Amino acid sequence: MHRTRMQIVCLILCMFFSTLVAAKSTSDCLQHLGGGYGDAECYSGLQRSLVADSKRIYNKLRATIPNSNMHAKLLDEYMATQDASVKYCELPRNAGARWKTEHDGSMFPALQEECIYNLRKAQNKFLKDLLDMAKW
């Protein structure tokens, strides 16, 4: 009974600590890129985080612009254009695969995810800069 209780405590502690490690900033994964599926997972996770942060910044920025102001529409168009531009990230993936659209699980999906990550990173920086300027 005592041994079972200790095993349960150890299991719970292991789960707790592994959650803490997983919850740590995933930007660390950029330091360990190797060209495979792990790279795609790294970029995918980071870009999802950037999308959420950009949405938060967009909402703050949008609140500073009066509804009747033409810049509100311009900002909305910018966000829609950024979302639409993600589809073009198929180009580096398929170029790396000699323009094939079917992939065998090699590094080529990582090229697409890296492209999306770079787009989202630029979008996030642009929105942060705009928000900073709006606070002047």
CATH of the domain at 113: 1.20.1270
Q: Tell me if 14 is assigned to some domain.
A: no
pLDDT reported for residue 112? 87
Closest listed residue to residue 39, CA positions, set 89, 109, 88:
109
Closest listed residue to residue 105, CA positions, set 47, 57, 38:
38
How many other CB atoms sit within 10 Å of the CB of residue 25?
8
Q: Give the model confidence (pLDDT) of 63-81 as tens digits.
A: 999 989 999 999 999 999 9
Distances (CA, A) of 8 to 20, 22, 26: 18, 21, 29
Which of 51-55, 61-65, 76-80, 93-97 is the least confident region? 93-97
Q: Tell me if 6 is assigned to some domain.
A: no
Q: Tell me if 84 is assigned to some domain.
A: yes
Q: Tell me if 17 is assigned to some domain.
A: no
Q: Tell me if 78 is assigned to some domain.
A: yes
Q: Tell me if 79 is assigned to some domain.
A: yes
Domain range spanning residue 105?
29-134
pLDDT at 42 over 70: yes
Q: Compute the chain's Rg from CA coordinates.
A: 21
Number of separate domains in the chain: 1
Tell whether pTM > 0.75: no
Mean pLDDT of 80-100: 88
Quote the CA–CA distance of 102 and 96 in Å, as a whole number.
Answer: 12
Q: Tell me if 3 is assigned to some domain.
A: no
Q: Tell me if 11 is assigned to some domain.
A: no
pLDDT averaged over the chain? 81
